[in-house]
Amino acid sequence: MNILKSILFISSLFLLANCQNKDNQVFLLGSGIGINNPALAVNDIDAAVKYYSDTLGFRTGRVKPNGEYKGILSSSINFSDAASFEIISISDSADQNDIPDFISNFLAEHEGIHHYALSSSSADSTFMWLSSQGFEMDSVKSFRSSEVSDGWSRDDGALNRKSLDFAQVNQKGFLPGFIEKSDFDYAIINEQWRTYYSYWRMYRTQPNGVVGISAIKIAVSDLNFAIDTFNEMGLEPIEIKDNIARFSLFKNQELHLLSSLSDQKVADFLTKRGDGVFAIRFEVENLDSTISYLQSGLPDNALGYEQGSVHISPEYAYGVQLEFVQEPEEQGQLAAMLSFNGELDSRAKDHASNVYIKYCALCHGNNREGYAADNAPSLKSKSLLATSMNNNFMRYTIQFGRANTAMAGYLDSQGGPLEHIDIEVLLKWLYEEAGVEEAIDPSREPVYGDISLGANIYSEKCAACHGSKGEGVTAPALGNPMLLATATDHFLRYAIAEGRDGTPMLAFKDSLSDDELDAVTAFLRSRASGWDVPEPSTVTVPSPEEYILNPNGEDPEFSLREGKFVSSEQVDKAMKEGKKMIIMDARSEVAWRQTHIPGSFPVPYYEDPENFIHDIPNDGTQIVIYCACPHAASLRVMSTLTRYGYENVSIIDEGILIWAQMGFPVRNGK
């Protein structure tokens, strides 16, 4: 046992001594997210995938090499509840010596689900826990789930999965394996489950209406022994009744143990196959619609009906019984309340309206008219809403707020009460309530103008309402670093030229010339670095020769959170001390031009890295990356650099928007 495993083992024993049995599932699965990849073994994967797709209505993935087992092909089906289902087969070109015996032996006699896995947030901790409980375990196995990605990606090229099996897996067919996805942030997914579930629900739709797996059903020859085994593993039954034991897994997912006395079909299954996965139970959005879909493609004898459910017999599903039940009402209500695909339904509108009244109406007015308090702008203005519909201006305003104003940041990661999904639904509601059907997309190109002229015009025509230093008097503060970091030049120019309908903000397009409008816009952009800067700090995109800042300086010594994230304070301090480093902006070049950290250069996360990867020094110099999200784009760039062999890479934890709000230096660029 190596040092790491020894430490984990001692830690697990300490925890065991201080924890009640009800917490054992935490040791077993950590913050894992339920059922993972019940593997349906078939002889002809192309035919099975086509059947599951065309006839049964599942959205199957492409057939590709399975990362865990050599010589095996697989196709995955992913569901809204983070559960997955996998179809596997032996590749025709596989070396027979590479094929796992338990798969080839199984397929020689059967088709069906031979093995399944539960999600663990730490396969190593699961190993330690089960070993401490007296189970004989195989070693933790690391592997990749797919081929290495091309282009910018969160795939860093490393082994991104860990698996763990019982040593006696072939003798005890009811035992699960365990899978850890190393590229998953389990803590964040659990903390923001409403957001993740809602997005997955919108984009992992299944033609048959399935939204998740609610239960995996295991046939066992000795029910009492199986119950004791799962208890020792760390799962506790929530009910034992009618020769069925139910265990809770994740959210409303369950694992069921079925004895031969529970059902004749189970008894027949045990006689033919022995212990193993008998059935998968799926939750559906609308059971009647699912039944109609299945009836349209299957013969009558393929389907069985019970009160509140329908099932497909194993002979019509490649050896496993597929069951479909109506999802819980509260789950469906949650999904409807947080869906912003298409027009909002009544539940989503009610949710957004309640969010608005609770958090926004005090300043923006009960009817979104604005100026109820603290110069909060009208949220009925089509000019404002239409020009921000296809960009992040409104989104970031709500998420991060406006420093030194009454507008707080409402995103939970900023200490606010809302998740990402709540803000998206609120935005969609604001657009619908204002009758904004189409976006107005101002150009993303920079606006150039006479800054001195713009300063004079601002003083004459704008300062009375917006403040002599952009602090806001009876109108929003234009000198706010967050506003200037999120508003493009043409967004600002449009507001100046067209005004804001339904507000005191006049349209200046008839009283100012185009050159004067450009001048005011350029003046406001020049204030991104601070209202009192003596000279505009506009710079051009650095050349590769300028990428390394302070090339003769010492290397910074950062303390990283989770080995990845460096605080804004540390980076600002390193810059002031002249430390040697490279600073990369993972956003678009347009966003870099609006506001960026001095010395940084844009490396948009969505462009082909081959276009410029060879210009980025790979000599061990500390690389710091940032975006606005604050991690989504920068993580993709960081992972891609890691895949290309770069070391000493970190991400500014707070992102550029909070950096600006904290008063650290920013520039705008050409």
pLDDT above 90 coverage of the chain, percent: 71
Pairing of β 72-78 and β 84-90: antiparallel
Average pLDDT of the residues in 227-240: 93
Q: Which of 16-25, 60-69, 115-124, 531-540 has the highest mean pLDDT?
A: 115-124
Instruction: Note whether 437 and 486 are within 8 A (CB).
Output: no
Q: How far apart are CA 590 and CA 595, in angstroms?
A: 9
Q: What is the pLDDT of residues 425-484, one digit of tens each?
A: 999 999 999 999 999 999 988 899 999 999 999 999 999 999 999 998 988 899 888 888
What is the SS3 assignment for 620? coil
Segment holding 519, helix H or strand E: helix 514-526
The candidate with the shortest Cα–Cα distance to 648, out of 626, 625, 623, is 623
Q: Which CATH architecture has domain 340-434?
A: Orthogonal Bundle (1.10)
pLDDT above 70 coverage of the chain, percent: 94
Outline where DSSP puts E strands in 508-558. 538-539
Of 3.30.70.260, 1.10.760.10, 2.60.40.10, 3.40.50.1000, the CATH number of 451-529 is 1.10.760.10
Q: How far apart are CA 481 and CA 667, in angstroms?
A: 11
Core vs surface per residue 124-154: b (16+ CB within 10 A) or e = ebbbbbbbebebebeebeeebbeeeeeebbb
Q: How far apart are CA 375 and CA 71, in angstroms?
A: 66
Q: How far apart are CA 77 and CA 285, in angstroms?
A: 17
What's the gap between Cα 185 and its chain centre?
9
Amino acid 536: pLDDT: 54
Instruction: Say yes or no: do domains 340-434 and 451-529 share a fold.
Output: yes
Checking if the pLDDT of 571 tops 90, the result is yes
Question: Average pLDDT over the chain, rounded to whole?
Answer: 90
Amino acid 21: pLDDT: 45
Q: Is 57 left (phi over 0), alpha (psi -120 to 50) or beta?
A: left
Q: Which one-letter DSSP state was computed for residue 82?
A: S
Average pLDDT of the residues in 603-615: 83
Peptide bond into 630 cis (omega under 30): yes
Amino acid 7: pLDDT: 42
The domains of the chain are located at 3-331, 340-434, 451-529, 539-669
Q: Which one-letter DSSP state was computed for residue 148?
A: P
Amino acid 17: pLDDT: 37
The pTM (predicted TM-score) of the whole model is 0.87
Q: How far apart are CA 614 and CA 6, in angstroms?
A: 42
**The two structure tokens encoding residue 546:** 């300028």
Q: Which one-letter DSSP state was computed for residue 581?
A: B
Return all residues near 397 (Cβ < 8 A) that are at least 6 apart. 407, 482, 483, 486
Residue 183 sits at the vertex; the CA angle it makes with 177 and 186, to the nearest 5 degrees, is: 75
Q: How far apart are CA 80 and CA 216, in angstroms?
A: 16
Q: Give Cα separations from 163 to 10, 88, 235, 467 (angstroms).
A: 22, 17, 19, 61
**The two structure tokens encoding residue 43:** 């002889």
**3-331 CATH fold:** 2,3-Dihydroxybiphenyl 1,2-Dioxygenase; domain 1 (3.10.180)
Residues in the chain: 670
Classify domain 539-669 by CATH number.
Answer: 3.40.250.10
What is the SS3 assignment for 164? strand
How many C-beta atoms surround the C-beta of residue 487 within 10 A? Answer: 28
Q: Which residue has the higher pLDDT, 568 or 154?
A: 568
Q: How far apart are CA 225 and CA 161, in angstroms?
A: 31
Return all residues near 195 (Cβ < 8 A) that are at least 6 apart. 338, 419, 420, 421
Task: For 281, list phi and psi in degrees, rounded to 5.
Answer: -110, 125
Q: How far apart are CA 319 and CA 340, in angstroms?
A: 38
